[in-house]
Chains A and B, each alone.
Chain A
Amino acid sequence: MRRLPVISSIKNSVQLKFAATFLILIAALLAMLNTYPTIVSRDLVFSSKQASLQNQASVMSSALSTPDKLSGETVGEVISLLDLRNLTRVIVTDDEALILYDTNKFDPSAGRYALFSEISRALGGEVVCYSVYDGEAFSTCEAMPVVSGGNVVGAVYLYEYDSEQAKLISEIQKNLLNITLVLAIAAIVLMLIFSRALTVRITDLAKATRIVSEGDYDHKIEIKGNDELTELGREFNDLTQRLKETEELRRRFVSDASHELKTPLASIRLLSDSILGAENMDADTMRDFVNDIGDEAERLQRTTEKLLSLTRMDSMAGLDLERLELKSVVEKTLRLLAPLAVEYKIAISSDLHAGCFIYGNEDLVYRIIFNLVENAIKYNVANGKVKIKLRRKNESILLVVEDTGIGIPDEDLPHIFSRFYRVDKARSREAGGSGLGLSIVYDAVKLHNGSVSVEKRKGQGTRFVVTFPAYAAEEE
């Protein structure tokens, strides 16, 4: 089995693109899932903490706002009335930043000066508030001036360390991470399954193509599912069917052709052998034999010419097309066929309109007309008639060739344009036919983008109608 390296790279590319897109999307979603909720909840906690601490500071500041100068005792009394259990540290200073009250049990600093930037800003009249989250806890800080009689007389400083809220957020983060992992694994598994299924079908298609291209036209793809690939599979099967039929036609054509060539050759062989084999053949007999050889050779010649023209038409690369006036071509052809008509005692009549222009090849058009009229003459009855009509109808040129001849049986009508098809083998042979005449007509008409049809005449005989597209004037 021939290896197709292209297949594996295609497989990688499609599978990779699909996988990459899918994974990137999932990764983006999961990243969002792991960052956004955490950020939002953290920000919520920030604002709630700042609000609550600001509230407590306000209460404290108002409570301390007395006309008397702040002192350690007065502050102590006021503060003892408030609930400060949530606060990790509370400092109250006077307007010089001297600490009047400090809840720090580890290093109580009353009597010392608090050189904190927050307190300095508060003593300048500013309310300071910020919150920091370090993954372990929320550390929130609040500093507010104590105002009395329009003057800043001191400052309160609150500090809170909360690891509970932080723990909640950590929990959320951990849970989200777990969900993420599960989803990620599921996504990868699903993606692998699906893309595997996809590529298996594509690989099957590729394999089938390979098998068919090596000659097994009977190989069919199994029609599975109901999607685009199924459609592709169906088309593929149709294609192989048509390939098979074409192959069949070709084989038949070749075998028919070789048969047509073999027969006259065999006759020639026989005749020449007879001549050579005979001891004392008289001159007349010998002349007859040689005549027959000549006839057969002539037949061979005609057949090969016709085959050649057919194959030439099959591989028509550059067809010389020109503007043709059909009336003159028909007339010329009829003149050439006049002797034949006389020989067969057929009367030819014509009704040709002028101005029927087509874009075509003169030789081929001549051949079309010649073959049709020749058939009409040969397959006619004694004293029969052949009529040729040429006229324009809308955008087409119609050429009709009808005869009063023996006609074509219904069952043969669909096949008469096929190569080597003969209705009446005996008569055709006698008339020197090869079965190719109408195939040539058909192919030549096709090359002119036209069509040809056949029908029985009312009464007796046959009518052939050739339709050419009319020559459209060239646009400047």
Chain B
Amino acid sequence: MKTKNICFLVPLVLLLAIFICACGREGSGSSDSTLSVYRPVKAEYRTGGELIRAEKVSLGENADPVQGAAYAISALSADDKLDSVLPDGVEIVSAEQNGKIAKVTMNAAYRAVGGMEKTLVDYCIALTMCSIPKIDYVSIYVGSDLIESRLTAGDAVMKNTVVSSDEAGVRVYFPRLTGGLGYEYRTITVSGDSMPERLIMDELMAGPKSEQLSEALPKSTVPLSVYANGGICSISFAEGFLSDEALTDEDIQLSIYSIVNSLTGLADVDSVQILVEGREVSDIGGFDLSEPLSRKAGMSGFAVVE
């Protein structure tokens, strides 16, 4: 009996010691960052509908995240259902951060990769890099040749979000903590007395789910009516819309484009007319809302990569 207990305890104690040491190595103070490395699912496991999957990888303390990501991408997966991102012979030569862009340089073998395979490589790299906070774009080079310019995570559609002719996913936009706009998918169900525009506004008012996003509109905002006609969606708010003194011009712009981007995501809506108490307003925080607004370059949102 006694020897049995010892046999059981010794490995446990050893494991505990290793664990403590491992934790200790990661140190205290600055938190270690985790990265989502996107890898393709192996062909034999693709029957479930999933093509790529994220794997959480921790980067060491004070490591350069872009370097770390490049390293993780090149490495093999710990999960035996996931394939390697880079095909045989293809390597990441270097990776560096340029403001919001991650500049990834590949070796010459990358030029030979084409079709779906290239798309997978490109977007596994793009999604992985964009999971690093403050990276929004990825540019891919071979040598000094720019092959792919400013890939974003949002360019990749990961799955079919349409359930039925009445139920589907829509993109709802919110301000990001790292600046600009980001979007989340929400599923809405259209019925006789709720049109999609109304449902999208409801989701917008409900607020974001992700911690990387913040509320688009102050809780005091009251949408009164929504209706769409001939490509223009008109939405009327109660008096006091975005009239809080504390709001900066930038805040106001983000709020407005949260509304515009969310609603123009629908195929039938090309522009959004914002009204206050049913009337057009010419000045909200320096903004002229008398004309319908369409999407603006530089105000498109980014996908939230968890």
Contact = CB atoms under 8 A, between A and B. Distances in A.
Interface in B43-58: 46-52
Given A108-B267, A112-B156, A123-B115, A137 B164 contact: yes
A118 B49 contact: yes
B49 A161 contact: no
Contact of B168 (A107, A139, A163): A107
A204 interface: no
A120 to B, nearest CB: 5
A80 to B, nearest CB: 15
A447 B267 CA distance: 112
B157 A99 contact: yes
Contact of B164 (A98, A105, A107, A163): A163
Nearest to A123: B116
Nearest to A89: B162
A124 B116 contact: yes
Interface string A93-115: 00111110000111111011111
Interface string B149-174: 00000111111111111001111000
A163 to B, nearest CB: 7
Given A105-B266, A106-B196, A107-B265, A97 B119 contact: yes
Interface in B247-278: 265-268
Contact of A96 (B50, B115, B265): B115
A159 B116 contact: no
A121 B164 contact: no
Contacts of A108: 267
B168 A117 contact: no
B118 interface: yes
A114 B157 contact: yes
Contacts of A115: 51-52, 119-120, 123, 156-158
B155 A112 contact: yes
A301 interface: no
A342 to B, nearest CB: 105
A116 B123 CA distance: 13
A34 B162 CA distance: 32
B41 interface: yes
A88 interface: yes
A103 to B, nearest CB: 9
Contacts of A113: 119, 123, 155-157
Interface string A68-108: 00000000000000000000110000011111000011111
Given A105-B268, A106-B168, A88 B51 contact: no
Contacts of B115: 95-96, 123
A183 B162 CA distance: 43
B168 A116 contact: no
B123 A105 contact: no
- Interface centre among B155, B158, B164, B188, by most chain A C-beta atoms within 10 angstroms, is B164
A466 B252 CA distance: 134
Contact of A117 (B48, B155, B157): B48
A111 B112 CA distance: 23
A112 B266 contact: no
A247 to B, nearest CB: 77
B46 A121 contact: yes
A271 to B, nearest CB: 101
A419 to B, nearest CB: 85
B263 to A, nearest CB: 12
A112 B114 CA distance: 17
A121 B45 CA distance: 12
B119 A96 contact: yes
Contact of A116 (B47, B51, B164, B267): B51
Nearest to B265: A107
Interface in A97-156: 97-99, 104-109, 111-121, 123-124, 137, 139, 141
B267 A105 contact: yes
A9 to B, nearest CB: 50
Contacts of A88: 162, 164-165
A320 to B, nearest CB: 73
Contacts of A137: 164
B51 A117 contact: yes
Interface string B111-152: 000111011100100000000000000000000000000000
27 contacts: A96-B114, A96-B116, A98-B119, A99-B157, A104-B161, A104-B162, A105-B268, A106-B169, A106-B170, A106-B188, A106-B266, A107-B168, A107-B169, A107-B185, A115-B52, A115-B120, A115-B156, A116-B51, A116-B157, A116-B159, A117-B49, A119-B116, A120-B51, A120-B116, A137-B164, A159-B162, A161-B162
Interface of A: 88-89, 95-99, 104-109, 111-121, 123-124, 137, 139, 141, 157, 159, 161, 163
